[in-house]
Amino acid sequence: MSQPLIPVSIQWAVHLLTLLVLPPLIPGLINKVKAVMAGRSGPPVLQLYYDLAKLAHKRAVFSRTTTWVFLAGPIGTVVAGMVAGLLVPFGHTGTPLSFEGDVILFAYLFGLARFLTVLSALDTGSSFEGMGAAREVAFSALAEPALFLGFAALAKASSSLSLSTMLLGSGLGSGRIAGPLILVLVGWAIVFLAENARIPVDDPNTHLELTMIHEVMVLDHSGRPLALVLYGASLKLLVLGAMLMDPLFPRAPQAWQNWLIFYAGLGALAVAVGLVESMTARFRMTKVPQFLIAGILASAFAFLLLLV
């Protein structure tokens, strides 16, 4: 506790505020980029905020087959995203909570969110949602090792087990770490796209249920539960995006500069995702595992490079 109290509490407040308010902006940015690339004017950047406000006032419809587990998915996604957001640093601005081994908790929180989402999809008894759930668990079994191998590489490089030191301690400065770090980030970028159901793994805009992964699992959610689902998805974009971008951020002397860098980085990530989505088509479902295995290999090579 060498730092004075007031700046720290301001940092905390900004962190929490960012975590609560910022997420719906990111999908808006991505969609705007896609619209501009396609020559459309597109929906406003704040569209998701309007949608959430509208959904919050709508009545939810529940099927007669569902139980309380149907609501566990939306709640679990948001809660896990929030807690994970407390663990991940937003650039060089200090993390509210950081302890040894929080990386594992971080990864397992997303596992928890996925488990509950899958269960709430299966709760409807719909075969479409069962299909999406089956795909989700199959692909996540490949995404998980890629994520953990990346953690292992960074843990080895930074000899630390806490998310904030792992992501921010290494930096691109030292030449020995630069190569592995790039590979880790490549692997994580793949994980990021897969976890957030973006092209080329999944298409958030598709209208054919048979080809969906994530969207099809939440077909039967409506009203406030749907609002939570949408908000939870954007929260995941923010938190995993912060994890992906953190090692790239330079450290600035002032706190406000660090925040600006962080926001700029997130904006850049959203633009990049929008560009990827504009320029590539989604893979055939059978190609997705190969793409994810490429992610595992990238992280594994990063680790091997650190060993020699």
Partner 1 sequence: MRLYLLAVLLMMSSGFPGLFLRRRGGEVAAVLMSLGAVIGLTAAIRVLAGGPVATFALPPAPLATAGLLTLDPIGAFFAIPVFLLPACAAIYGIGYWDDHQENVRTLRLVLGLLAASLAFLIVSTHALPFLLGWEGMAISAFILVMTEDRLPEARRAGWIYLVCTHTGTLALFGAFAILYSASGHWVLSGLPRDFAASGQGTVLFVLCLFGFGLKAGIMPLHLWLPPTHAAAPSHVSSVMSGVLIKMGILGLVRLLSWIPDPPFWWGAVLMALGAISGILGVAFALGQHDLKRLLAYHSIENIGIILLGLGLGTLGKSTGHPVIQLLGFAGALLHVLNHSLFKGLLFLAAGSVVHAVGLRDLERMGGLGRRMPWTSAAFLVGSWAICGLPPLNGFVSEWLIYLGSFRALGFFQWPWSLVVLTALALIGALAMACFAKAYGAVFQGSPRTEAAGAAHESPRSMLVPMGILAVACAIIGLAPMLLAPALDRVVAALGEGTGMPHLSLLVNLPSLTILALVMLGLVVLLWRWLRPVDSGGTLPTWDCGYAVSSPRMQYTASSFADGLVGGLRWVLWPMSHGGKVTRSFPVDQPFESHVPDPVLDRLADPVFRSLSAGATLLRFFQGGQLHVYLLYVLLTLLTLLLWMVA
Query: Least CB distance from residue 62 to partner 1, whole Å?
Result: 4
Residues 6+ apart with CB under 8 A from 36: 42
DSSP code at position 283: P
CB nearer to partner 1: pick between 30 and 78: 78
CB nearer to partner 1: pick between 123 and 277: 123
Cα-based distances in Å from 114 to 71, 94, 119, 248, 272: 13, 28, 9, 28, 25
CB nearer to partner 1: pick between 129 and 277: 129
d(CA 265, CA 245) in angstroms, rounded, equals 7
CB nearer to partner 1: pick between 259 and 303: 303
d(CA 7, CA 5) in angstroms, rounded, equals 6
Contact status, residue 93 vs residue 255, Cβ threshold 8 Å: yes
CB nearer to partner 1: pick between 100 and 264: 100
Query: Least CB distance from residue 235 to partner 1, whole Å?
Result: 12
d(CA 262, CA 265) in angstroms, rounded, equals 5
Query: Least CB distance from residue 242 to partner 1, whole Å?
Result: 18
Query: Least CB distance from residue 63 to partner 1, whole Å?
Result: 4
Query: Least CB distance from residue 188 to partner 1, whole Å?
Result: 14
The verdict on whether omega for the bond into residue 7 sits within 30 degrees of 0, i.e. cis, is: no
